[in-house]
């Protein structure tokens, strides 16, 4: 074949994570801090419900937007958490993970030439999905000194007359940053004044350690312009089930459903049945897992403090994002040496955007026992680096 | 903090107070005071180790004995329970609702020792009406811990 493949796709750079993955795979016996998914098994009652669905032969397609009962439970759950009502009939779409919702949300909202504002560091798929949807990504480089929260002046500087969508990725992967109510209030007016849509990716909404997660949809005038994305992967340790959802005004959901219908048909049926049990009986599971994450979070923050490694205290997701700027090397150099010399894999911050340069994403989706080993090695490693620096 | 502290040390009584302080976000002093208070109030009754004896060369036989008894006037089941739990070979005694009254668990070196206990000691107690002895063949899970669980992390080593 001599005809070139899709230019848009060809132009997309493979993710920095992929590159690092290839390096890690070469190292035998490495321990990892690089995983973006819970270490817990899916709670048994949820798995059991999936098994039961299979036993009963519930192996057919569901309706495009997902099982009605599931959408009703999602509606209740969203209301429990955010005090915002979505009609399960036409304002909720069950998707294949939050990832699909990001993709089709963007595709439903933007046309060629529109601009999409993406705060970084953030999850790796916003940029390529924006490009594939034919729009132009406009990056905001969030700052460490703001604890990687989005500030109103940063947003204002990024808005042009072509801006259509703001992506709001909080609680944030990879920084662990959250946006509190006053942070959201501060950007609300800019969003409304400029008539922007918001894609609020709240996949880590259950995992906050300061106050309960505040969603932008609970702010006045925001529900009608926001696609709220959440899912089961992080909250219920259900990554492999591939199940998420989008809540939005019916005008948007109906367009997203069209894309979903033609590209996906419906989310996996077994997962949907299992998810009903997650929503009905899973609140206490979340609480238990969250307690565990919080202990590990405190453990890491304390360990960094002791070794004088600069790190703001993150209040969300299951990541810490320490700065390695004192060592005068790039994130990739640091991560590669850490891997080669101590056999620990942590993801270089720049894999999540340029503004992640000088940082390292460390996941605490690991038991404290594992974290202890990793932290010992990190301490040994940075002690060595500091000695090297003193010599030269 | 009390409840969380108990939940942690119920699973891991070996964890050091300074570590508890870090993961619970309090001072070490608070942990030490709280532990002392919990012991004093009899909420913490002991610190045990969960052992899978199967994996050792020591022979142990465990039995569950269902006991039906006649409750005694003014004392209910407490007195007969006391008679039973005072035997050192008895590991646990529970008052049970339903088809029988007391569940007694026993750990001995051999079947014979258990049968001796049941026939000589337990059955001869005046208020014991009947017993049914069940031997434990295999322990899969004990004290909330799956004994043979393999901890393979099957996740991809790096994911976004």
Cis peptide bond upstream of A121, omega within 30: yes
Q: Is the peptide bond before A65 cis (omega within 30 degrees of 0)?
A: no
List the one residue out of A198, A195, A197 whose CA is nearest residue A179. A198
Distance CA(A265)–CA(A187), nearest Å, equals 36
pLDDT reported for residue A16: 81
- The predicted pLDDT at position A29 comes to 85
B72 DSSP 8-state letter: B
Q: In chain B, which residue ranges form alpha helices assigned H by DSSP?
A: 2-11, 17-24, 28-40, 78-85, 111-116
CB contact under 8 A, B160 and A345: no
C-alpha distance from residue B160 to each of A120, A291, A362, B26 (Å): 14, 23, 11, 33
Q: Which residue of A has its CA nearest to B152?
A: A39
Question: Would the CB atoms of B155 and A24 count as touching at under 8 Å?
Answer: no
- Which chain A residues have a beta carbon less than 8 Å from that of B26? none
**Per-residue model confidence (pLDDT) at position A154:** 98
The most distant pair of C-alpha atoms in chain B lies apart, rounded to whole Å, by 68
Structure tokens that stand for B55 in this block: 């994996």
Residue by residue, DSSP assigns A172-209 as -TTT-----HHHHHHHHHHHHHTT-EEEEE-TTTT-BS
Work out the number of other CB atoms within 10 angstroms of the CB of residue A71: 24
Residues B158, A37: C-beta atoms closer than 8 Å: no
Task: Give B149's pLDDT tier (boundaries 50, 70, 90).
Answer: confident
Q: Which of B22, B25, B160 sits opposite A15 (nearest CB)?
A: B160
Nearest C-alpha neighbor of B1 from the set B34, B28, B29, B32: B34
pLDDT score for A304: 97
Tokens in use for A186? 């501060």
Q: What is the pLDDT of residue B150?
A: 74
- pLDDT tens sequence across A210-266: 999 999 999 999 999 999 999 999 999 999 999 999 999 999 999 999 999 999 999
Quickly count: other Cβ atoms within 10 Å of residue A264's Cβ.
Answer: 15
Q: Quick one: pLDDT at residue B47?
A: 93
Residue pairs spanning A and B at CB distance below 8 A: 52
Q: Which among A20, A295, A299 has CB closest to B158? A: A20
Length of chain A, in residues: 392
Q: For chain B, how many residues are written?
A: 160
Q: Which tens digit of pLDDT belongs to each residue from A62-111?
A: 999 999 999 999 999 999 999 999 999 999 999 999 999 999 999 999 99
- B151 pLDDT more than 80: no
CB atoms within 10 A of CB A290: 16
Distance from CA of B18 to the nearest CA of A (A): 11
Per-residue pLDDT of chain A (392 residues; tens, 9 = 90+): 799 999 999 999 888 888 888 888 888 889 999 999 999 999 999 999 999 999 999 999 999 999 999 999 999 999 999 999 999 999 999 999 999 999 999 999 999 999 999 999 999 999 999 999 999 999 999 999 999 999 999 999 999 999 999 999 999 999 999 999 999 999 999 999 999 999 999 999 999 999 999 999 999 999 999 999 999 999 999 999 999 999 999 999 999 999 999 999 999 999 999 999 999 999 999 999 999 999 999 999 999 999 999 999 999 999 999 999 999 999 999 999 999 999 999 999 999 999 999 999 999 999 999 999 999 999 999 999 999 998 87
Distance CA A99, CA A126 (A): 9
The token pair that represents A342 in the structure block: 């101590």
**Confidence at residue A264, expressed as pLDDT on a 0 to 100 scale:** 97
Please state whether the peptide bond connecting residue A174 to the residue before it is cis, i.e. omega within 30 degrees of 0: yes
Instruction: Let me know the angle formed at the C-alpha of A343 by A342 and A349, rounded to the nearest 5 degrees.
Output: 90
């Amino acid at each position: 074949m001599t005809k070139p493949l899709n230019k848009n796709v060809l132009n997309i750079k493979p993710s920095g994570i992929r590159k690092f993955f290839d390096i890690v795979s070469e190292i035998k016996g490495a321990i990892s801090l690089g995983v973006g998914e819970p270490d817990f098994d899916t709670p048994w009652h949820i798995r059991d419900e999936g098994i039961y669905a299979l036993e009963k032969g519930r192996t057919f397609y569901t309706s495009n937007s997902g099982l009605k009962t599931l959408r009703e439970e999602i509606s209740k759950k969203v209301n429990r958490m955010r005090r915002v009502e979505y009609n399960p009939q036409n304002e909720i779409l069950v998707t294949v993970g939050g990832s699909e919702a990001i993709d089709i949300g963007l595709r439903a909202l933007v046309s060629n030439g529109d601009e999409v504002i993406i705060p970084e560091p953030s999850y790796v798929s916003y940029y390529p999905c924006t490009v594939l949807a034919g729009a132009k990504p406009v990056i905001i480089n969030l700052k460490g000194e703001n604890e990687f929260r989005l500030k109103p002046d940063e947003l204002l500087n990024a808005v042009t007359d072509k801006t259509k969508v703001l992506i709001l990725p909080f609680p944030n992967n990879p920084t662990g940053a959250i946006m509190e109510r006053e942070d959201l209030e501060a950007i609300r007016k800019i969003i409304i004044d400029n008539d922007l849509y918001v894609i609020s990716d709240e996949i880590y909404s259950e995992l906050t350690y300061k106050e309960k997660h505040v969603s932008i949809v609970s702010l006045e005038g925001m529900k009608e312009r926001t696609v709220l994305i959440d899912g089961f992967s992080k909250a219920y340790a259900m990554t492999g089930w591939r199940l998420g959802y989008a809540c939005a005004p019916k005008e948007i959901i109906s367009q997203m459903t069209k894309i979903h219908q033609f590209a996906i048909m419906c989310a996996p049926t077994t997962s949907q049945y299992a998810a009903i049990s997650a929503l009905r009986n899973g609140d206490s599971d979340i609480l238990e897992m969250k307690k565990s994450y919080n202990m590990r979070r405190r453990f890491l923050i304390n360990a960094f403090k002791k070794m004088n490694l600069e790190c703001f205290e993150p209040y969300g997701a299951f990541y810490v994002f320490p700065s390695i700027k004192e060592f005068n090397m790039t994130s990739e150099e640091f991560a590669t040496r850490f891997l080669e010399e101590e056999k620990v894999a942590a993801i270089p911050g720049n894999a999540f955007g340029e503004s992640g340069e000088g940082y390292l994403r460390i996941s605490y989706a690991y038991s404290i026992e594992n974290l202890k080993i990793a932290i010992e090695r990190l301490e040994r490693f940075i002690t060595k680096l500091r000695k090297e620096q003193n010599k030269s | 903090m009390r409840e969380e502290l108990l939940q942690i040390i119920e699973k891991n009584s070996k964890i050091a107070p300074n570590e508890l302080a870090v993961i619970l976000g309090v001072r070490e002093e608070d942990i030490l005071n709280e532990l002392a208070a919990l012991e004093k109030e009899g909420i913490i009754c002991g610190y045990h180790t969960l052992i899978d004896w199967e994996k050792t060369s020591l022979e142990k036989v465990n039995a569950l004995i269902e006991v039906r008894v006649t409750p005694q006037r003014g004392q209910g089941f407490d007195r007969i329970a006391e008679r039973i739990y005072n035997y050192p070979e008895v590991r646990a005694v529970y008052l049970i609702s339903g088809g029988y009254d007391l569940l007694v668990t026993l750990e001995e070196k051999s079947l014979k020792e258990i049968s001796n206990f049941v026939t000589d000691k337990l059955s001869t107690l005046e208020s014991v009406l009947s017993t049914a002895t069940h031997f434990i063949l295999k322990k899969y899970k004990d004290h909330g811990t799956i004994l043979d669980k393999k901890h393979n992390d099957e996740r991809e080593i790096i994911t976004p």
